[in-house]
Structure 1
Amino acid sequence: MAKAKPKQTTELAAGGSALEFRKTNEAIGLRVSEGRLSLLSRKTFNLMVYHAQKLGVPGQNAPIDTPVAQKYFWIPLTDLARDAAYDSKDTELLKKSVQELQDIRIYMEDEKQWTSERLVSSVKIVNSAGLKRRGGRVWFGFAFPPEVANLVMSPGAYTKLSIYYQTMLRSGASLALYEICRRFATNPSRLSSREKWEWWYGALSGNPVTEGLPQYKYFKRDVLKTSIAEINAVTDIEVELIEHKQGRKVVDLQFRIRLNEQPALDLPAPPLIDAAVIERLMQLGIAQEEATAIFVSHDDATLRATLELVEERVRSVKAPPLDSPAAYFKSALRNRYATPRDVARKTLASAGAAGSAGSADEVVPAAERGPTLRERYASKRAREATDYFNEIDPQQRDQLMLEYEPEAPRVIATALRRNGLHSKVAQTGFFAWLATRLWGEVSDKDLLAFAESEL
C-alpha cells in the first residue's frame, strides 16, 4: 500500500509552543479583491485560526442552546481581546473590527482552480446577561465559509506561526511581510519567492488589487523600510530587502531571511484593541464611532506618531489655539505630518527595541524622505511670490532686493550680488523671504487649508 504523502510544513526553530498555529500557505500573502486587510483584521483572523484549531470542532462552549450555535467556534471575548477590562463600550469596538473582516473578499488561485470568497462568513457576540450590561460572560462566536474552513482546519502545505510574534508587530504590512518571510525561513536558499514589486505592494498593504499603485520609492520608504526594521527588532527572523533592476528601474523584489536563535522575550503582548488610543482620539473631539473606524483602518505606528504630534500641538502655549483639534488630526493623518522617521521611531519604541532612534535613522534616511506638507506649502508660496515679483514694475523689484540683501545669509547675499536672481540659491532664499514679507509666517490654519485643497 502506498504511503501517504507527508504534509509540507515550515517549522519553527525552537520547539513547539501552545501559542503556535498552522496557517495554510495559500492564506499567506493574500491578495484582496474587496475590502481592506488592516493590522487589526489580520490579527483577528489569525487569532480565529488559532482558536479554531485549538478547539478542533465547532459548537464547543456554545453559550446558547440552538442548532445554529453548534456551527460556530466559541471563545470568551477576553481570550480574543487579551484585555480583562473589556467592557460593553469595548464590545462596540470589536464589532467594528469584525465587520471589517466580513467585508473582505479574497481570491486564491492555483493550477486547477480560482476561488473568490469572504474571509469570515458569520460572527456572533453573546452575553446571557445582556449585551449592554457589564455582568455576565461575553462570548465571541465565528464561522468560516466552506473553502476557508477547509484551509483552516485541514491545511495541506502550511507554515507554523506564533501568536506571540504577531501580537508584537504593530503594522499590517509588518505582519504580512513577517508571515511571508517566515514561510521561507527554513528553505535551503533562505530566500523568499521573487515577485514583481506591485505584487508585494498588494500583499503587504492589504488594499484591493483594483486600487492604484504608489511610486515604488514611496512604497519602499513608507512600507518596506519600517516593516523590515520592526520585524528585525521583535521577531524570530531577520529580513533583508533584495531589489532586482532592469537598468535603473526596480522591477522585482525578494527577501533574504535569517533565523534568530534567541528565545522570545517574556514580554506581555499588547492588546488587540487599544481602548486607550480610542479615548485619546475622542478627547480631540472625534466621535467614538469615527475614532473606532480610524483605529481599525490605520497602522498602529502611524496612528500613534500622528496622535502624539497633534497632542503636543494642542498643549503648545507658543502657537495659537486650534479651532478644531479633530480636523487638525485628520488632516495630519491624511497628509503625513508625522514623517516616516517619526513613524519608524514609534514603531521601534512600541516594540521596546534598544537604540531605536539610531535604528530609525538607518531605516529612513532623510535624503529619501518625500516633501512634507509644510515643504509643499512653502514651495507653493514661493511660486506665488515669484509671480507677484514678475508682475510689479522694475523699481519695486529693485527696492525689494535692496531690502532683502541685509537680511540674507552671507552665502545668499554673496550669490545675489554676484549673479542676481540667476543664482538658484539666491532665488530660493529671496522668494521664501518675499512670501513671508507678503503673507506673514505660516500658520496651522494655512497648512490645514492647503491640506484640504490637495484632496
Structure 2
Amino acid sequence: MQTDDIPHDQLSGPLRRPSVKKNVAAIHVSGKLTLLQRKLSNVLLLNAYDHLVSRPKHQIDARTLCMMVGYNSNDMETLKASLRSLAETTAEWDMLGADGQHEWGVSALLSYAKLKGGICEYAYSPALAEKLHDPKVFALINLNIQRRFTSGHALALYENCYRFVRTGSTGWWPIDLFRRLMGVDGSAYYESFKHLNAKVIKPAVKEVNKTSNILLDPEFRKMGRQVSELRFRIRENPQLAMLDIDDGEGVRQGPVYQGLLKVGVSDRLARQWIAEHGETYVAEKLAYLQGRDGVKSPVRYLTAALRDDYKAEVAPEPSPEAVKAAETRKVQASFAEQQAAARDAELEAARRKRAGRMARIRELVAARSPTQRDADKRLFLARLSDDLERAEFQRLGWGSALSVGEMVEFWEELAPGAFDDVA
C-alpha cells in the first residue's frame, strides 16, 4: 500500500520518505497447503476480520464454512484435517514497524480450532491478529475470484502478488523464498529451476491471468548462470473488470429481479438476494409480501422475510433445523455484503487510479512538440504485441484504456517519476 493512503501525521521515521511506498508490508505463509486449505484460511480470516483485535476467538457455522470453501457440508473429517493443517502452518512477517524499526515475527496461522455443536471456533495469536488487521498489510481477497481457481499454486501466487497491485511489482524475491511461498521447498525435484518454471511458475501465471482481476509478467535475475531471484510485474486485468461489471446481466432479465425493483429494492441488493437464496426462494417471499396490505417499508419487510423464512401460513415454533438454516443465511448474507462492498471499493479505486494516470498521460503528451508526439506514437505502437491493444491504440491514441499499464511504463521511461504522485 502506498503511504498516500495513510494520514501523514500518523507516520514517523523512515515512513515519511517517498521511497517507503515501495516497501510493501508482507505476511508470508509457509507450508504445503492444498487449494481448499488456502480457501479455508481466507474465509476464516474474512469472517473474523472486523473483530480480529477486539475478540480473542471467533465462531462460524461449520456447515456454512464447508459450503463456502467447496467441501461437502457433511464432510467434517476433511474440515478437521484442514483446520489441523492451518494450526501446523506458520505465518512469517518481515517489515518496518510504525516506529521505523525493522520487525520480524513468526506465528502459527491458527492458535487453535475446535468443532462443537455444529460450530467451528478458532483463534489467532494476538501478534498475528494485529498484523492481519493492519490495513497496510491485509489485502481483501474477493471470494468470487478465489472460487475460480483450480490450482493451489495459482491461488498462492495470486495471494502473494495481489497485495502489490498498487505498486505494480512484487519486488525481487529470492528463489528459495518463492519455493517456500508456493509450498514446494524441501522438494529435490523443484530445486531445479527448469522444473520449477515449467511445473509451477508458468502454469500458475497462466491461471492467474485467465482467472483473476490482475495480470502477471514474471522477470528473472541471474547470478552467474543460475536464476537467483524473480519478481512479478502486476497490472489490472481490464477484460475481467468488464466481465465483473456485466456479471448480473442474466439475472437482470428475470421476472424476480424486475419484481424486486418495483417494490424499491436496489439493483445490487436484488442481485445479492438472488445469488444468496436462489430465484425460487426470493420469488416466494416476494409473493408473500405482495399478498399483504399496509406494509410501509417493503425492502425492510422483505429482508426479514428472507432472513426468517416467512410463510403464507402462521408457522409453529421454528425447529432447530430451521433456526440453523436461518443462522446460515445470516452468515451467507454477511459474507455476500462484505464481498460486494469490497468489490465496489476495488472498482472505485481502480477507476480513480486509471483516471489519474490517463490525465497525467494527457499532460505529458501536451508538453511534447508535434514531431516528438508522432515519434512517441510510433515507438509505443511498436511495443504492443497484442492485436486488440494495437487496433485500439491506432483508433484512440493515448486515450486507449486497454493499454494504460503499458502507456505508464512507456512514459515512466521518458519521464522518470512522472506518476509518483498519482494514487
Q: Which has the larger radius of gyration?
A: 1
- TM-score band by shorter chain is 0.3 to 0.5
Q: Report which of the two has the higher share of helix.
A: 2
